[in-house]
């Protein structure tokens, strides 16, 4: 699946995941994505802060991408 491999091979500042600016750049690669659905799925997730920047884990970005691309909410089994 393109989404999964792209997320895990994306050149991020931190190996743990994506900063906000990296998420914005990644979303540019998906022009038809429902951005509202994407960001809705990031509410309540676990993240980390490194050097004052919030870092979102790869697995959460993948789920949010799926939801944004498919224009849907997260399924219960996708919640981690």
Residues 39-79 have pLDDT tens digits of 999 998 999 999 999 999 999 999 999 999 999 988 887 77
Is residue 33 domain-resident? yes
Q: Is residue 15 part of a domain?
A: yes
Evaluate whether residue 27 is within a structural domain.
Answer: yes
Range of the domain at 22: 2-74
Is 11 part of any domain?
A: yes
Q: Which residues partner with 48 through β-bridges?
A: 55
69 domain residue, yes or no: yes
Q: What is the pLDDT of residues 1-14, one digit of tens each?
A: 566 788 999 999 99
Q: Is residue 80, in this structure, part of any structural domain at all?
A: no
Residue 54 lies inside a defined structural domain of this protein: yes
Count how many domains the chain has: 1
Establish if 61 belongs to a structural domain.
yes
């Amino acid at each position: 699946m393109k989404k999964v491999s792209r997320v895990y091979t994306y050149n991020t500042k931190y190996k743990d995941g994506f900063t906000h600016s990296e998420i914005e750049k990644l979303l540019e690669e998906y022009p038809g994505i429902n951005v509202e659905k994407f960001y809705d799925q990031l509410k309540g997730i676990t993240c980390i802060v490194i050097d004052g920047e919030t870092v979102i884990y790869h697995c959460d970005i993948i789920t949010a991408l799926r939801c944004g691309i498919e224009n849907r909410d997260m399924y219960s089994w996708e919640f981690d």
